[in-house]
Amino acid sequence: MQVLLVRHGQSEANLANIYQGIGNAPLTELGREQAIRLQSTILDKFDQVFVSPLDRAKETARLALLKTHDENEFKIVDDLREVNIGKLEGISRESDNDWHREMVQKYRNDFDYRGHEGESKNDLAKRVGTAFDKIIEEMNSKNWDKIAIFAHGGSIQSLVKLYLKLDDAPDYLENCDSIRLERINGKWNVVA
């Protein structure tokens, strides 16, 4: 049983260096090029493709799998969306406002922090983990061997690091980076 987790291509918010959670910024031209380049590295035919409802993830999946999958067959899963970052949404990552810096530090270091009026990291891990469990249940019931999930850096990291507790997963995903998981003897493992 294999799962490919893919982060979306560069979005307008990534380019502008602003915090982006559930905001629906589209891909940049570079982001579309990154997704198209995935066509040469993702050669798999997946039994099912699951996608976050946010446009940047949907467009990445559509472009990356253009030659092998029909986007009308993608299954949109609302709980794969990125973290709700509340008051941080749309704020420059280079902001010199003490309030912003303090809020970002608290969010990064306290996995239960909700002072920004959004989700905590633990909230996100629980939401995405529950969605993942449902996807795996469907995978088992339909005897699928291989699926893909197109989502976001925060949602993927929360899934692999906090929910599945895979220490060997990368600490950060660049745009269009991926993590391949394989279930061996009932345990998820990161594979090359």
84's tokens: 């709700």
Give the per-residue pLDDT at 98. 86
User: Which residues are paired to 18 by β-bridges?
Assistant: 92
Residue 17 has pLDDT above 80, yes or no: yes
pLDDT at 192 over 90: no
Average pLDDT of the chain is: 94
- Residue 101 is predicted with a pLDDT of 84
Angle at 64 between CA 71 and CA 17, to 5 degrees: 110
pLDDT of residue 97: 82
Query: For residue range 65-80, what is the model confidence (pLDDT) as tens digits?
Result: 998 899 999 999 999 9
Phi/psi for 18 (5° steps) reads -115, 155
d(CA 99, CA 102): 5
- Which of the residues are catalytic? 8, 82
Residue carrying the six token digits 């530090």: 105
Q: Could you read off the pLDDT of 118-145 as tens digits, one per residue?
A: 999 999 999 999 999 999 999 999 999 9
6-33 average pLDDT score? 96
pLDDT above 90: residue 43: no
CATH 3.40.50.1240 describes domain 2-82+120-191:
yes
Q: Is the pLDDT of residue 96 over 80?
A: no
**DSSP 3-state of 166:** coil
Give the Cα separation of 167 and 85 in Å (integer): 25
pLDDT of residue 115: 83
Give tens-digit pLDDT for 140-171: 999 999 999 999 999 999 999 999 999 999 99
Q: Which residues contact 6 (CB under 8 A, 6 or more apart)?
A: 38, 42, 60, 61, 64, 148, 149, 150, 151, 176, 177, 178
Residue 48 is predicted with a pLDDT of 97
pLDDT band (50, 70, 90) for residue 61? very high
Cα–Cα distances in angstroms (integers) from residue 117 to residues 108, 145, 156, 158, in the given order: 14, 39, 21, 19
d(CA 135, CA 39): 24
Q: Is residue 81's pLDDT more than 80?
A: yes
Q: What is the identity of the amino acid at 142?
A: K
